[in-house]
């Protein structure tokens, strides 16, 4: 059974047709990258999955719940799906450990002791336990993003969405974040959907690559095959451009 299912999904922002008749399914344990030029609808597609954007028409089921149905409790869906944003979205007035323990205590009902134990496990995993008492403003972008990933993992999600997680980072910190993501994909078998411009991550870590342009899915194939031989000219041009330097 697919965990995410798009059927004839359209999304408009006013007159802008951002997603055009999307039909897609995602399976448990898959690592998928969404790639394509700026403005092709990648973030919109990702954000529809956890209800941050509303679809205009069509059907979208996530963990068997109809996302477009106003009776669906979107919080239950979000509990199962972690989200990592480009700009981290950490609470600046809270320390690292407070950021990571907040939702597990409030939403999952963990005691403080349990939440701290869990935070230790995940912050150690992303090599940030030694910074547990630091405030986000005193961390590099890459460190903040690793905390954001630990915060997502601490909710023990069934899937994780990443929206350009390395686009706002200095080049020297990108690799640390990608290594953490690779580790989660390979050791945990986490279901991951990653919007990224990091083609080497797409090629080497993701099982599947979806290439989008102008709100449409142009190619959707195993990453190895896709990068070996993009079939569509638009995909070929894109790949040639991004690997040109």
Residue reference for tokens 């089921």: 61
Asked if 23 and 45 touch (Cβ cutoff 8 Å), the reply is no
Query: For ligand ATP, how many residues bind (rule: CB under 6 A)?
Result: 11
Q: How far is the CB of 117 from ligand ATP (least distance, A)?
A: 37
Of 5 and 53, nearer to ligand ATP (C-beta) is 53
* Among candidate residues 38, 8, 3, the one with its CA nearest the CA of residue 22: 8
Which segment (32-40, 96-104, 183-191, 229-237) binds ligand ATP by CB under 6 A?
32-40
Which segment (23-31, 35-43, 173-181, 220-228) binds ligand ATP by CB under 6 A?
35-43
Residues recorded for the chain:
245
Quick check: 18 binds ligand ATP (CB under 6 A)?
Answer: yes
Q: What DSSP string describes 98-159?
A: HHHHHHHHHTS---HHHHHHHHHHHHHHTT-GGGTT--GGGS-HHHHHHHHHHHHHTT--SE
How many Å from the N-terminal Cα to the C-terminal Cα in the chain?
41
Asked if 159 and 80 touch (Cβ cutoff 8 Å), the reply is yes
Q: How far is the CB of 78 from ligand ATP (least distance, A)?
A: 19
Among 6, 9, 22, 44, binds ligand ATP (CB under 6 A): 44
Q: Show contacts with ligand ATP in window 149-168 (CB under 6 A).
A: none
Of 130 and 232, nearer to ligand ATP (C-beta) is 232
Quick check: 29 binds ligand ATP (CB under 6 A)?
Answer: no
Among 32, 40, 166, 223, binds ligand ATP (CB under 6 A): 40
Among 12, 21, 29, 39, binds ligand ATP (CB under 6 A): 39
Q: How far is the CB of 220 from ligand ATP (least distance, A)?
A: 15
Of 104 and 165, nearer to ligand ATP (C-beta) is 165
* Among candidate residues 223, 164, 173, the one with its CA nearest the CA of residue 31: 223
Report in angstroms the alpha-carbon separations of 219 from 44, 56, 227, 236: 17, 23, 11, 11
Asked if 32 and 194 touch (Cβ cutoff 8 Å), the reply is yes
Neighbours of 48 (CB within 10 A): 26
Quick check: 241 binds ligand ATP (CB under 6 A)?
Answer: no
Using CB under 6 A, list all residues that contact ligand ATP.
Answer: 13, 16, 18, 36, 38-44
């Amino acid at each position: 059974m697919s965990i995410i299912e798009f059927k004839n999904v359209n999304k408009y922002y006013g007159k802008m047709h951002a997603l055009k008749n999307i039909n897609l399914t995602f399976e448990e344990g898959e690592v998928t990258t969404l790639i394509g030029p700026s403005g092709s609808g990648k973030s919109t597609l990702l954000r529809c999955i956890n209800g941050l954007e509303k679809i205009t028409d069509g059907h979208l089921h996530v963990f068997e719940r109809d996302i477009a149905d106003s009776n669906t409790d979107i919080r239950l869906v979000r509990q199962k799906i972690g989200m990592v944003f480009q700009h981290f979205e950490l609470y600046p007035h809270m320390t690292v450990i407070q950021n990571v323990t907040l939702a597990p205590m409030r939403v999952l009902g963990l005691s403080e002791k349990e939440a701290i134990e869990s935070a230790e496990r995940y912050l150690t995993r992303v090599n940030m336990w030694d910074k547990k008492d630091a405030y986000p403003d005193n961390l590099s972008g890459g460190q903040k993003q690793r905390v954001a990933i630990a915060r997502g993992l601490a909710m023990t999600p069934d899937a994780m969405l990443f929206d350009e997680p390395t686009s706002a980072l200095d080049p020297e910190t990108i690799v640390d974040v990608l290594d953490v993501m690779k580790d989660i994909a390979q050791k945990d078998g986490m279901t991951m959907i990653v919007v990224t411009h990091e083609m080497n991550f797409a090629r080497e870590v993701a099982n599947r690559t979806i290439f989008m342009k102008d709100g449409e899915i142009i190619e959707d194939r195993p990453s190895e095959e896709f990068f070996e031989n993009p079939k569509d000219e638009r995909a070929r041009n894109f790949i040639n451009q991004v690997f040109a330097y």
